[in-house]
Amino acid sequence: MDVYVHKQKCTGCQHCKDVCPVAVFEMKGRGTTENPDAEGANGDTAPEEHKWKGVIDPAMKAKWENVSDGHKHFAHDNDGTSGGLSVAVNGSACILCQACLIECEGECITITDDNGTKYDSIYK
C-alpha cells in the first residue's frame, strides 16, 4: 500500500492522524520560505506536483481559513491537536479502512493498493 498527501491542499486539521488505526500519518511544520521542506513536510511519496513548496491551494484556503471548528487551518506548526502539514510516513502499514479518506477536509489523500487501484479522499 502507498499513501501520500497533496501538500498544497492540506489544511493541517489532523483528522487523518487522529482516525488512522495504524499510525500512517505524522504532522510536520511548514518550513521556511527558502526551504519549505526544512521540517520534513515532503517525507512521503507525493509526486512532484503534490509536494510542499510553500504555496497553499487558493480554493482550499478560501474554503477553510475562516472556519472555526476547534482545529487550526493552515497554521505553520502543529500544537498536538492540529496545525502544520500531514505526512504519510508509514504508508506501507495502511489497511485501507478508508477512515482518513472520509475525514480529510482538504480532499488531499491518495492511497494506492498493491494492485495499483487508487483511492482518493471523499470528504463532502
Binding stretches for ligand SF4 (CB under 6 A): 3, 5, 10-16, 19-22, 24, 86, 94-100, 103-106, 108-109, 111
Nearer to ligand SF4, 38 or 69 (CB): 69
Smallest separation (angstroms) from ligand SF4 to the CB of 77: 13
Nearer to ligand SF4, 29 or 34 (CB): 29
Smallest separation (angstroms) from ligand SF4 to the CB of 18: 8
Smallest separation (angstroms) from ligand SF4 to the CB of 88: 7
Helices (H) and strands (E) in the chain, counts: 3, 5
DSSP 47-107: -GGGS--S---HHHHHHHTT--SSS-SS-SS--SSS-SEEEETTGGG-----HHHHH-TT-
Smallest separation (angstroms) from ligand SF4 to the CB of 74: 10
Nearer to ligand SF4, 15 or 30 (CB): 15
Strands 85-88 and 25-28: antiparallel
- CA-CA distance, 63 to 11, in Å (whole number)? 10
